[in-house]
């Protein structure tokens, strides 16, 4: 009996120590959404179970090594144990009940995370190699930043233009895959006026690690100002810069001459462009438009991938209208 009591004490002490270490405050980023609160509560329950299981395994092992180790000169076999039906019943029933309890808690947590607000702000989140864009259909606004009013639920309708991506803001505790041709809904109610970073959590190609976007949680007044300031410009050149920022162009094409994934737009229009096949072409309107809608037609020297193709996705032929392409060309002309 004394060994039972001793083992229980060791397991209890290790469990308490594990619980003190394994807390959401120690292991997780700050909470910044209503959904994060209920998710962290579920995490806290799981951490308690993890601490107990670790203590149960390691505690009994350490206790046994100390008190039941073979003594010097002891060459006898250990006692033969046939089994214990009660013990087997316990270690079958307890894990089963634990799993069922966590299934119920998990279901309630999921219900709270998915609980809809009929007045939620709708935002369409569009991923593409390797940038994010955000559309506010109720306001006719497109942005390269996700701006949300504090303490108001946002319905994020997430999709992709090309390959699988994943929306993840760690402070919100929410992740959702962006699937081409499909809108996946995610609801978030931010609670902290602050700036966060949206990361892509699905390996999506060469610049996956740099597929980031700024997330701003602001007051309602600042959100209204953002909507006002983000209206689509009427001037074609200004619109071209607007499309450059909001349609993912800036992820691959610089405007200062630096090389990213694709050629820089600085000084592009009217220049002589060397191609991978050894020929030269003038960067006029026709060439730029063709490069947008059919990026593999004329690949600039030094920008072919390992497969010999352009890294630029071919989805822009469908996602950009002729008017948008003409606006971008008009803006590129000004980048001397």
Q: Tell whether the model's pLDDT for residue 19 goes beyond 90.
A: no
- In angstroms, how far apart are the furthest CA atoms of the chain? 94
Per the CB < 8 A criterion, the answer to whether 89 and 21 are in contact is no
Confidence of residue 316 (pLDDT cuts 50, 70, 90): confident
The DSSP annotation for 221-235 comes to: HHHHHHHHHTSPPSS
Choose between 183 and 25: higher pLDDT. 183
**Average pLDDT, whole number, for the chain?**
87
Confidence of residue 159 (pLDDT cuts 50, 70, 90): very high
- Which pLDDT tens digit goes with each residue over 227-239? 988 888 888 888 8
pLDDT in the model for residue 140:
86
Query: Measured between alpha carbons, how far is 161 from 314 in angstroms, rounded to an integer?
Result: 10
Per the CB < 8 A criterion, the answer to whether 257 and 280 are in contact is no
Residue spans per domain, the chain = 2-65+87-114, 121-229, 236-332
Structure tokens at 269: 């229009």
The residue-averaged pLDDT of 212-239 equals 90
Structure tokens at 31: 């909470």
CATH number assigned to the domain with residue range 121-229, chosen from the 4 options 1.10.3210.10, 3.40.50.10860, 2.40.160.20, 2.60.40.420: 2.60.40.420
Question: Does the domain formed by 236-332 have CATH 3.40.1160.10?
Answer: no
Among 103-112, 243-252, 310-319, the minimum mean pLDDT is found in 310-319
Confidence of residue 333 (pLDDT cuts 50, 70, 90): confident
My answer on whether omega of the bond before 130 falls inside 30° of 0, hence cis, is yes
Per the CB < 8 A criterion, the answer to whether 312 and 295 are in contact is yes
What percentage of residues in the chain have a pLDDT greater than 70?
A: 99
- Which pLDDT tens digit goes with each residue over 89-148? 988 999 999 999 999 999 999 999 889 998 999 999 999 888 899 999 998 888 989 999
Per the CB < 8 A criterion, the answer to whether 39 and 29 are in contact is no
pLDDT in the model for residue 123:
96
Structure tokens at 207: 């610049």
The residue-averaged pLDDT of 302-313 equals 75
Confidence of residue 21 (pLDDT cuts 50, 70, 90): confident
263: exposed, middle or buried (Cβ count in 10 Å: 0-12, 13-18, 19+): buried
- Which pLDDT tens digit goes with each residue over 289-301? 888 888 888 888 8
DSSP 248: S
Query: Measured between alpha carbons, how far is 241 from 233 in angstroms, rounded to an integer?
Result: 9
Provide CB contacts within 8 A for 179, sequence distance 6+: 159, 160, 164
Confidence of residue 306 (pLDDT cuts 50, 70, 90): low
Q: Tell whether the model's pLDDT for residue 38 goes beyond 80.
A: yes
The residue-averaged pLDDT of 183-198 equals 94
Cα angle vertex 46, ends 41, 52, to 5°?
A: 135
Cα angle vertex 316, ends 311, 322, to 5°?
A: 140
Rounded to a whole number of angstroms, the distance between the first and last alpha carbons of the chain is 87
Confidence of residue 170 (pLDDT cuts 50, 70, 90): very high
Cα angle vertex 217, ends 212, 219, to 5°?
A: 155
Choose between 139 and 82: higher pLDDT. 139
Q: Which residue has the tokens 């004394």?
A: 2
The residue-averaged pLDDT of 193-200 equals 94
- Taking Cα atoms as reference points, which of 33, 25, 26 lies closest to residue 172? 33
């Amino acid at each position: 009996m004394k060994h039972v009591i001793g083992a229980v004490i060791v397991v209890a002490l290790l469990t308490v120590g594990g619980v003190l270490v394994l807390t959401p405050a120690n292991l997780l980023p700050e909470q910044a959404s209503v959904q994060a609160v209920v998710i962290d509560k579920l995490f806290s329950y799981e951490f308690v179970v993890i601490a107990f299981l670790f203590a149960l395994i390691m505690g009994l092992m350490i206790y046994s090594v100390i008190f039941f180790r073979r003594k010097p000169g002891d060459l006898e076999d250990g006692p033969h144990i046939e089994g214990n039906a009660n013990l087997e019943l316990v270690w079958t029933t307890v894990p089963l009940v634990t799993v069922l309890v966590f299934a119920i808690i998990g279901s309630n947590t999921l219900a709270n995370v998915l609980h809809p607000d009929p007045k939620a702000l709708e935002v369409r989140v569009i991923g593409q190699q390797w940038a994010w864009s955000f559309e506010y259909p109720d306001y006719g606004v497109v942005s390269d930043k996700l701006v949300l009013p504090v303490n108001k639920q946002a319905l994020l309708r997430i999709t992709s233009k090309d390959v699988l991506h994943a929306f993840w803001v760690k402070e919100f505790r929410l992740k959702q895959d962006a699937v081409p041709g499909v809108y996946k809904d995610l609801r978030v109610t931010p609670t902290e006026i602050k700036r966060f970073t949206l990361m892509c959590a699905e390996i999506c190609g060469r610049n996956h690690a740099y597929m980031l976007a700024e997330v701003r949680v602001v007051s309602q007044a600042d959100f209204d100002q953002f909507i006002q300031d983000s209206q689509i410009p009427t001037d074609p050149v200004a619109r071209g810069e607007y499309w450059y920022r909001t349609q993912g162009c800036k992820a691959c094409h610089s405007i200062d001459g630096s090389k990213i994934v694709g050629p820089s737009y600085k000084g592009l229009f009217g220049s002589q462009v060397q191609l991978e096949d050894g020929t030269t072409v003038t960067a006029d309107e026709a060439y730029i438009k063709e490069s947008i809608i059919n990026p593999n037609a004329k690949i600039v020297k030094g920008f072919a991938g390992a497969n010999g193709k352009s890294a630029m996705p071919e989805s822009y032929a469908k996602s950009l209208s002729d008017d948008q392409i003409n606006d971008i060309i008009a803006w590129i002309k000004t980048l001397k």
